[in-house]
Structure 1
Amino acid sequence: MKLLHRIPTFSAVALASALALSPLTALSAETLRLSAIEPPTSTVVAFANAFSARVRQYSQDSIDIKVYPSSQLGDWVEVHEQVMEGTIDLALQPLSNSFNEVLALQWFPYAALDFESGRDAFSEGGVVHEIINEALAEQDIKILGAFVSGMGGIVYTRPAPAPRDPNASQGLKIRVWPGGTTHQELLKRLGYQTAPIPWSDLYTAMQTGVVDGAIGATPELVMNNFADIAKMWVQNNDHFEVSFLAVNKGRFDSLSREQQQAIRRAATELSAERFATAEQEHEKFLQQMRDKGIEVVELDKSELESVARVVRADVWPKIEDEIGAINMARLKLSLGIR
């Protein structure tokens, strides 16, 4: 009887000691869901998996982040809404402007001209990062970090006649994403016709000739999705492609201080690492295009600056309403534009 009496007493003491020594324990483990729109083999999903692993390490196994690639939890607009509502905890993707037009700033044409200016604008403290974070605060969403996919361009199933000339009539129809007002106006100014087509229908539309190409892509996205039908890629740096690591603020605030610190640390580290290697990765996929037989047209610095001047002068006034006059003024100030 004495032995039986001592067993629970010892167990209680041991358990109390373990809890005192380890503030982040399996007893307080949290499972979070992270949605990504890219396939499992993509660098975006590799980033998401690395984030999950580091958070587990830094939180002493108290947080388990499960990654769902390939839009398993819904398309990017649906996922954005579910992160707002808290039914999905985290997402690594572009943010939908369906709920706030200001978020169109993330792909605003020529808000950044190259990787250096993109890093300045989209890193924490940068003008784009700050404006977007302010807009997301109204949606109960917080930005933790960013994955740079690369500089944007246009992919074609048949060659453009004068892709370096912003004043030429190209005679081609290019897909924009539904609601992509910024790039509808951009393409019109650059001499193209446009057609809004959902992502899920884009491959077939390009394959069957409904459209002659698409804007809003990066070299990696093309190689992952259109390598067998792409004939030309024009690297015109029309936008800086970023997938934001976003979390539902209420869910984040419900975690312990130590768990929040673990998440912030992992996100900050990985974002910095990706910014440092993004340009090299971008060049790697451009070379894969060439190796595949896709014609790659790269605008040089003077050509990029020429196109940017045209777009900022002629297109920005038409799309200013997307982000508002105050935010436009902040963007121009950051770029030294009067």
Structure 2
Amino acid sequence: MMKKILLIMLSVILVFTFAACGGGSSDDGGGGEEPAQTFELKLADVYPEDHADTIACRAAVEEIEEKTGGAVKIKVYPANQLGDASQVYEEIRKGTIDMMLGTLPTTFDSRMEMLTIPYLVTNYDQAKATFLGGSYFYDQLSQIQNELGVELINIFTDGFMGVGATKPLEDPMDFTKSHKELIRVPAMDSYIWTAQGMGYNTTTIPYADLYSALQTGVADGWIGGSAYVNYESFGDIIKSFCESNYIMELIPIVMNKDLYDSMPEEYQTIIKEAFATQAVKVADDREA
């Protein structure tokens, strides 16, 4: 009788032992280290392939891919291939496009006109301290972007703006007189008021139509671009440039916020640091 009891107890112990071993084996088989999360992103870029900002973007993208071991790959689409800045920004908010390098349209929030407040800075040291990551200006703009479902990655400082014209400008720095030239401005109050304060007659023309407007004489000149942009994009028709330095041209890099928040913190840091490095380089190159 005692033998039977011992055999029954031994059988029960063996059953539970094998069950426990079987369960552990299953966990080990399915509970190994998960593969690293990967991201393939699209970055819409308003500038052409050979523009300094596009080159800076590509340098940041290479650094990001290298430092994440290929887990974050970003494909750059230059020259408005995915649409102009207004269209792309809306898609960024929806999450149908991942990232953008371009001007931020104020139609979504008028506070974004803070990017075009005239005479905030007078040199590049001030510009880097005032606009790049970690500054009060940057933090305020970042907060506005977050409210719109967008993450601010950094800001490229593309140079002080001036007045470019297809003919010689007469006394362009004399703001006490009315100038005869008709100057194109973006559809933003900060630009319109600045140009009018400088004594110019203004007409609102989209940037995409600016070249043909200057070429056909619809406008005599424009404000909204640095000497670099006037030379690179309009060099064959711009005959006069006044370096009035009224606004520092600021070009943000942004990302869909839900996408950014879904990334590991390590990847977030790598992305922001890569673009921060390029933001400083862009400013230094412009100053040189």
Change (3 A) 1:276 1:227: closer
Q: Which has the larger Rg?
A: 2
The partner residue of 1:262 within 261, 265, 270 is 270
Matched ranges for 1:26-41 at <5 A: 28-41=37-50
CA deviations on 1:110-134 (whole Å, 9 max, x unpaired) are 1222222222220223232222112
The equivalent of 2:98 in structure 1 is 89
The equivalent of 1:160 in structure 2 is 169
* TM-aligned CA deviation for residue 96 of structure 1: 1.2
* TM-aligned CA deviation for residue 257 of structure 1: 2.5
Secondary structure of the residue that 2:176 maps to in structure 1?
coil
- How well do the aligned residues superpose, as a CA RMSD in angstroms? 1.9
Give TM-score, length-normalised by structure 2: 0.85
Give TM-score, length-normalised by structure 1: 0.73
> Given that residues 185 and 204 in structure 2 are in contact (C-alpha distance below 8 angstroms), is that contact kept between their aligned partners in structure 1?
yes
> Given that residues 82 and 88 in structure 1 are in contact (C-alpha distance below 8 angstroms), is that contact kept between their aligned partners in structure 2?
yes
Task: Tell me the amino acid that sits aligned with residue 195 of structure 1.
Answer: T
Give the Cα separation in 1 of the matches to 2:171 and 2:88: 38
2:196 is equivalent to residue 181 of structure 1: no
Task: Tell me the amino acid that sits aligned with residue 224 of structure 2.
Answer: G
The equivalent of 2:205 in structure 1 is 197
CA deviations on 1:54-74 (whole Å, 9 max, x unpaired) are 110110111110000001111
The partner residue of 1:142 within 135, 151, 156 is 151
Give the Cα separation in 2 of the matches to 1:110 and 1:127: 17
> Given that residues 91 and 247 in structure 1 are in contact (C-alpha distance below 8 angstroms), is that contact kept between their aligned partners in structure 2?
yes
> Given that residues 154 and 276 in structure 2 are in contact (C-alpha distance below 8 angstroms), is that contact kept between their aligned partners in structure 1?
yes
Give the Cα separation in 2 of the matches to 1:271 and 1:248: 20
The equivalent of 1:228 in structure 2 is 236
CA deviations on 1:64-109 (whole Å, 9 max, x unpaired) are 1000000111101111111111111111112111100010111111
Give the Cα separation in 2 of the matches to 1:44 and 1:205: 25
CA deviations on 1:273-329 (whole Å, 9 max, x unpaired) are 33333311xxxxxxxxxxxxxxxxxxxxxxxxxxxxxxxxxxxxxxxxxxxxxxxxx
The partner residue of 1:44 within 53, 61, 67 is 53
Change (3 A) 1:191 1:50: same
* 5+ residue gaps, structure 2: 1-28
The equivalent of 2:21 in structure 1 is none
Secondary structure of the residue that 2:172 maps to in structure 1?
coil
Give the Cα separation in 1 of the matches to 2:179 and 2:265: 55
> Given that residues 106 and 128 in structure 1 are in contact (C-alpha distance below 8 angstroms), is that contact kept between their aligned partners in structure 2?
no
Give the Cα separation in 2 of the matches to 1:203 and 1:60: 42
Matched ranges for 1:13-32 at <5 A: 20=33, 25=36, 28-32=37-41
Give the Cα separation in 2 of the matches to 1:40 and 1:85: 26
2:258 is equivalent to residue 247 of structure 1: no
Give the Cα separation in 1 of the matches to 2:124 and 2:229: 17
Give the Cα separation in 2 of the matches to 1:198 and 1:94: 13
Give the Cα separation in 1 of the matches to 2:285 and 2:279: 10
The equivalent of 2:133 in structure 1 is 124
* 5+ residue gaps, structure 1: 1-14, 281-338
> Given that residues 24 and 61 in structure 1 are in contact (C-alpha distance below 8 angstroms), is that contact kept between their aligned partners in structure 2?
no
The count of aligned residue pairs is 260
The equivalent of 1:171 in structure 2 is 180
* TM-aligned CA deviation for residue 270 of structure 1: 2.0
Change (3 A) 1:16 1:219: farther
Give the Cα separation in 2 of the matches to 1:269 and 1:239: 23
